[in-house]
Structure 1
Amino acid sequence: MADKTKRSISIAAPSSRVMDVIADYDAYPEWVAAAKSVEVLARGANGRARRVRFVLDAGMVKDTYELDFDWASDGKSVRWSLASAEIQKSQDGSYTLEDLPDGTTTVTYELTVDLNIPMIGLFKRKAEKAITDTALKELKKRVEG
């Protein structure tokens, strides 16, 4: 199994607020720089997205892909896996939220991506690190802003 990239950030908001922002896929193009369009294709019984289509343009990397989501019943985590894509072979990821006594939330993002094109492991891990760092910084700005 491929190594996961794991990054964390502290956000000055309760986990319920953070998860609401994570789950609002319709708003992603407003605050996720690389998301050109995002469409919820199916919702679960809890109203949360079950399948979402993303059109991504991150400069040299462009892809249209669909992810399937699995939401924890406690509202503290979400996991996803790749359903279909143009250049990705697989993608598995998760957000896990931890409420802290001071009212902040630690958000941990784990991500593994494999592409249909060969990529040296070192470059792949650097790309995953850049993706997770950017995603967490954009999330923090959206929640706290």
Structure 2
Amino acid sequence: MADRTSSSITINASAPEVMAVIADFPAYPGWAEGITAAEVVSTAEDGRAEQVRITLEAGPIKDTYVLAYDWADDDAVQWNLAEAGTMLTGMTGAYRLAPGDGSTEVTYELAVDVRIPMIGMVRRKAEKRIIETALKGLKRRVEA
């Protein structure tokens, strides 16, 4: 897997409030640009998703894949590709939350591999766009 791309944003809410939105996968189509469906396939004993089937439509890229999640309370969640799609061959990512004074700094890390050859610089630029869009959408959703 390639190097990860990352970015951060400060959200005016507590870490548990932010993580509740991150963990609410069925709501993703309402705020996560490009995601048209997010179906929880399996859950852990604590009720959080272990695997989620994601349907993505972002410009020319249309794909369905399954991600496996590993939760660290309300501090972080990491994921990796459990079932590849037609375009997506690899993905690792994480949301890391750092509580502040009445706010939470959220860092999103992402690395994606696709079937089509892509120059590293172009791939990182695409990852950066995905991350920035996701962080802005998360901030809008949590602060609404």
- On whether the aligned pair clears a TM of 0.5, the verdict is yes
The 3-state SS of whatever aligns with 2:117 is: coil
Structure 2 counterpart of 1:41, one-letter code? V
1:104 and 2:140 are equivalent in the alignment: no
1:38 and 2:41 are equivalent in the alignment: no
Asked whether the 8 Å contact 2:14–2:104 carries over to 1, the reply is yes
Partner of 1:51: 51
Alignment RMSD (CA, Å): 0.9
Q: Displacement, 1:33?
A: 2.4
Task: Provide Cα deviations, 1:58-105, integer angstroms capped at 9, x if missing partner.
Answer: 112111110000001x3210000001122111100000000002x100
Partner of 1:136: 135
1:97 and 1:22 mapped to 2: Cα distance? 11
Structure 1 counterpart of 2:49, one-letter code? A
Unaligned runs of 5+ in 2: none
TM-score by length of 2: 0.96
Task: Provide Cα deviations, 1:35-68, integer angstroms capped at 9, x if missing partner.
Answer: 1111000000110000000110011211111000
The 3-state SS of whatever aligns with 1:133 is: helix
Equivalences for 1:1-145 in 2 at 5 Å? 1-72=1-72, 74-84=73-83, 85-101=85-101, 103-145=102-144
TM-score by length of 1: 0.96
- Further displaced range: 26-35 or 128-137: 26-35
- Further displaced range: 27-36 or 128-137: 27-36
The 3-state SS of whatever aligns with 2:134 is: helix
The 3-state SS of whatever aligns with 1:131 is: helix
Q: Which consecutive segments of 4 or more residues in structure 1 shift more than 2 A?
A: none
